[in-house]
Structure formats: C-alpha cells, structure tokens
C-alpha cells in the first residue's frame, strides 16, 4: 500500500495545502532514506541542519527537537523518504526558524545510467542545501527538453562542480576523484568518503573540466537515493561503463552503519 504524503510543522500535522501559502523559499533542508527508524549518516544530517540554520537565521537549532519531530513523523512506518526543512513564515527580525518534516514513500535507486548536458551555472550559497531550487529545476528541465536526463553544472572558472540533485565523482584507475569546486557537501558523498577511506580506497579532490573527462575510467553521481549511479555520457562524449565504480560505491556504502533517529 502506498504511504500518503505527510507534513508536520513543529510537530503538528498539516494538510498538504496548509503550509504552501505561508512559507517562503528562504530556508534549507536535508533529505534521507529512513528504514525501521534508522538512517545512515545521521550526524552529518544534523550538523548540516545546525550549520545552515546558523548561517541563514543567525540562531542555534535544537537538533534533539528535530530528532523528536522526525521520530514522531516516521512512527510505525518501516520505510520512508524523509525531508526535514528549516524555514520561516515571516521576515521580521529576528527571524524564527520553524521545522517542517515531510514524509513520502521510499525512493528506490534507479540503476539506469544518466546522460548529462553541461551548463554554466552555480547555485547561491552552494554549501547550503537551500530551498531556492528554481535554477536547479530550470536547468534540469532544459536538459530534458534537449534530450538529456539532467544537467551537469560547470562553474564560472570552467570546472565541473555538481549536477542538479547530485554530487559528481570520477574513477581514475583505483582512485576516486571528487571535483574541486564550490559544491554542496552531499550527505551520501560525505558518508562515502568515510567508507572508502576505511576500505583503503585512494581518494583525491582536484579540478575537473569537461575537456578532462576523457582521462577517466568512469563517472558517477550520488545522492540520498543512491550510493552511486553511472554517467553514460556528457554532452556528446560517451563515457566508459561505470560498473566497477558503481560496484565499489555500493560495497562501501553497505559498510556504513544505520543510526537510530
């Protein structure tokens, strides 16, 4: 049976239309896949929420309260996609951040390789997973209209940074390469970095430009729904199969413990 969407603002249930008119796009969020009341990388999720709240609102976030709201929202459900949003209904200073928890059915990873189109774009405050998603959606849609699956962002310096809802990575021999650019530090990417380090897999961070893609053995993307998804092509360049990279990332991710919310 499909689980209907559920919204809870500061712990109180809302209808799906009740919050839209009163909320703004000024805020931030984190997204997670929850299984039996547990999530991978919980500490990263809470640190992201706390750090972004200080940056956007100038105030501290009670992460224990956040956890209690999430526990309440997921109670009795074995598998959910959960989004925790910190936002405001008023711009009067001092702004008061509020916590909105949305639950949806779980999102299984899609194994199909992606075809990406490069676009010159950099998000405002790229280190924040903020609610200002207009540019992401617009460029992703334009890529789809052009026959691609999604957009791959290239920053003003000409470096590959990230995709619309993904961190990007590459495999060079046995080394995982992360792009050096202003990107969102995705939770799955952070979790993967730790897992790969524990497995002894070499990693490095360096500038990668579209012209450098021919040097790599594979390209992949990762987000909260998948530990690693192959990239089949970028613009007109067909990339090598990424099976080895995807298998490596899946193996590393499976070593990550689940944390009780």
* pLDDT tens digits for range 213-231: 999 999 999 999 999 999 9
d(CA 80, CA 32): 8
What pLDDT is attached to residue 8?
Answer: 78
For range 241-257, the mean pLDDT:
97
Phi (first) and psi of residue 111, to 5 degrees = -80, -10
Mean of all residue pLDDT scores within the chain: 93
User: Residue 21 pLDDT more than 50?
Assistant: no
Per-residue model confidence (pLDDT) at position 25: 81
Q: Rounded distance, CA 116 to CA 90, Å?
A: 38
Mean pLDDT of 47-63: 97
**pLDDT, tens digit, for every residue of 126-141?**
999 999 899 999 999 9
The answer to whether 52 and 129 are in contact (CB under 8 A) is: yes
Residues 95-110: pLDDT tens digits?
889 999 999 999 888 8
Given a cut of 90, whether residue 163 has pLDDT beyond it is yes
Identify the CA nearest to 121 among candidates 89, 159, 64: 159
Whether the CB-CB separation of 249 and 178 falls below 8 Å is answered with: no
What is the mean pLDDT of the segment spanning 234-244?
98
What does the pLDDT read at residue 79? 96
Q: What is the pLDDT of residue 19?
A: 52
Alpha carbon distances (Å) from 123 to 10, 26, 51, 96, 234? 28, 14, 18, 24, 20
Which residues have C-beta within 8 Å of that of residue 55, sequence separation ≥ 6? 125, 128
> For position 16, what pLDDT does the model report?
55
Q: Rounded to the nearest 5 degrees, what angle is found at the Cα of 222, between the Cα atoms of 106 and 33? A: 25
- Percent residues over pLDDT 70 in the chain: 95
Does the predicted model carry a pTM greater than 0.85?
A: yes
Whether 64 has a pLDDT exceeding 60, the answer reads yes
pLDDT in the model for residue 20: 53
Residue 254 reports pLDDT greater than 90: yes
pLDDT at 107: 83
pLDDT tens across 80-93, in order? 999 999 998 788 88
């Amino acid at each position: 049976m499909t689980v209907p969407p559920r919204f809870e603002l500061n712990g109180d249930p809302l209808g799906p239309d009740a919050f839209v008119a009163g909320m703004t796009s000024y805020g931030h969020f984190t997204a997670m896949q929850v299984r039996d009341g547990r999530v991978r990388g919980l500490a990263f999720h809470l640190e992201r929420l706390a750090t972004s709240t200080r940056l956007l609102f100038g105030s501290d976030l009670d992460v224990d309260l956040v956890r209690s709201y999430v526990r309440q929202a997921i109670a009795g459900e074995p598998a959910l996609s959960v989004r925790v949003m910190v936002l405001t209904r008023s711009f009067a200073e001092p702004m008061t951040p509020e916590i909105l928890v949305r639950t949806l059915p779980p999102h299984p990873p899609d194994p199909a390789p992606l075809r990406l189109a490069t676009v010159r774009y950099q998000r405002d405050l790229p280190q924040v997973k903020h609610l200002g998603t207009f540019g992401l959606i617009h460029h992703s849609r334009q890529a789809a209209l052009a026959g691609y699956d999604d957009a791959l962002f290239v920053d003003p310096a000409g470096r590959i940074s990230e995709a619309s809802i993904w961190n990007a990575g590459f495999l060079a021999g046995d080394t995982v390469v992360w792009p050096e650019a202003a990107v969102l530090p995705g939770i799955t990417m952070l979790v993967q970095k730790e897992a790969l380090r524990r497995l002894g897999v070499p990693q490095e961070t360096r500038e990668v430009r579209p012209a450098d893609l021919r040097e790599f053995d594979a390209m992949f993307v990762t987000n909260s729904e998948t530990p690693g998804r192959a990239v089949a092509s970028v613009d007109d360049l067909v990339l090598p199969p990424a099976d080895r990279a995807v298998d490596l990332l899946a193996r590393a991710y499976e070593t990550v413990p689940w944390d009780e919310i």
